[in-house]
Structure 1
Amino acid sequence: HIAFRRRAKAAGAWSLVAMIGIMFVLTYGVAQTKRVITLSPPEDYSLSDGVATIKFSQINDGHLHRFQYKAKDGTVMRFIIIKKNGGAYGVGLDACDNCGDAGYYEKDGKIICKKCDVAINLATIGFKGGCNPVPFDYQVESGKIVIQTSTLDALSTHFQ
């Protein structure tokens, strides 16, 4: 009887430890699924006479840079720029055709869609398709990226 009681107490103690462990894991899992990812604040850039200008020195670090623009129809929209491998730049709206205007964030050197949590292939930013940022026309002129605001105005429906 003494050995049976000892085993019963040990089994009860281990069951209690297991229940506490499971409750901790479930609580942590629920907290991770409920976390809210905040997008980085928009950066400043030069805007005059219908032209937005961003200097290379501002975006040459290989990280995601977010900018904000208010379209003629009053829609506040965001666009992103990142320097890709090989010196090219990925330029697009902070929105995609699949997930809408949820936006993208950078985590561990990867660009991730906030809504569907998919990592975007860095080489495909600036091209249409999938969950890629909606691309738009821009020019590269003497150390800066030049964007016509009329181009952005035409894409404001992605943020409505």
Structure 2
Amino acid sequence: MVMVVLTLTVGVARSTEVINLSPPEKYSLSQGVATITFAQVDDGHLHRFEYTAKDGTVMRFIIIKKNGGAYGVGLDACENCGDAGYYEKDGKIICKRCEVAINLATIGFKGGCNPIPFDYTTQNGRIVIQTSVLDALSSHFQ
């Protein structure tokens, strides 16, 4: 009897666990260009940033350095689950809405529950994002 109650209690606790997204990190924003230094995101963990689009929409994007050294850059939203966002748990990136673990190698590519990718460049030790690119994607957060 006690074991059944314990099992149900654990099951209920997991199903009601609230996942909070990490707070957005600071970055440089000047003259329509957002820049994030490699040093800020080189640790292999998920980094979240916030941007307010020209239309007033507050949106989020994420960056993670992948195992091969490339950067995974995308919106903190996907085509399937909307703007629920992603979180990191036990070294995995997980969609907050559907709880699917995202294959780290595929972050930055379209499809499935992957973060929606967008164009960016790298130069002089920085990731450079044109804010016009983010502005064009604000509908994913409305």
TM-score (norm: length of structure 2) = 0.98
Name the residue aligned to 2:71: 89
2:9 and 2:65 mapped to 1: Cα distance?
A: 39
Q: Which runs of 5+ in 1 are unaligned?
A: 1-18
3-state secondary structure, aligned to 2:68 = helix
- How far 1:20 moved relative to its partner? 2.2
Identity fraction in percent: 78
- Runs of 4+ in structure 1 over 3 Å off: none
Correspondence 1:38 to 2:25: no
Written as runs of structure 1 = structure 2, the 5 A alignment for 1:44-123 is 44-123=26-105
1:124 and 1:40 mapped to 2: Cα distance?
A: 21
Q: How large is the RMSD of aligned CA atoms in angstroms?
A: 0.6
- How far 1:84 moved relative to its partner? 0.6
- How far 1:135 moved relative to its partner? 0.2
More helix by share: 1
> How many matched pairs?
142
For residues 22-50 of structure 1, give each alpha carbon's deviation from its aligned partner in whole angstroms, at most 9, with x where no partner exists: 11210121111011101100000000000
TM-score (norm: length of structure 1) = 0.87
Name the residue aligned to 1:134: 116
2:11 and 2:68 mapped to 1: Cα distance?
A: 39
3-state secondary structure, aligned to 1:145 = strand
Name the residue aligned to 1:14: none
2:2 and 2:67 mapped to 1: Cα distance?
A: 47
Q: Which runs of 5+ in 2 are unaligned?
A: none
